[in-house]
Amino acid sequence: MSLFARGSVIGGKAKIKYRDNSTITQATNDNTFMFEVGGGVQYDLNEKFWLRGEYVHVIASDLDGKGELMDIGDINGLQFSIGANF
């Protein structure tokens, strides 16, 4: 069993379109960035597989039309995962 900490940055771009009576309307172009940090406990099942339980904090931000970051919310919670070393 071991303790760990991690961080990541995720970026994405979405072009959102709506369909109304067979007419497609483009609503928005959305650029999103998420900054995530987490820490927890990892248990090695064997040499290849592991289980993790961690507390995660995510800060999600959105670029508005002026190219400035604006806060769209935080996410806090527990995450459980299984993985493999390769």
pLDDT value of residue 24: 65
Going by pLDDT thresholds of 50, 70 and 90, the confidence category of residue 82 is: very high
pLDDT value of residue 16: 66
For the chain, give the DSSP string. Answer: -EEEEEEEEEEEEEEEEEEETTEEEEEEEEEEEEEEEEEEEEEESSSSEEEEEEEEEEEEEEE-TTS-EEEEEEEEEEEEEEEE--
- pLDDT, tens digit (0-9, with 9 covering 90-100), for 4-55: 999 999 887 767 666 777 776 666 666 777 889 999 999 999 999 999 999 9
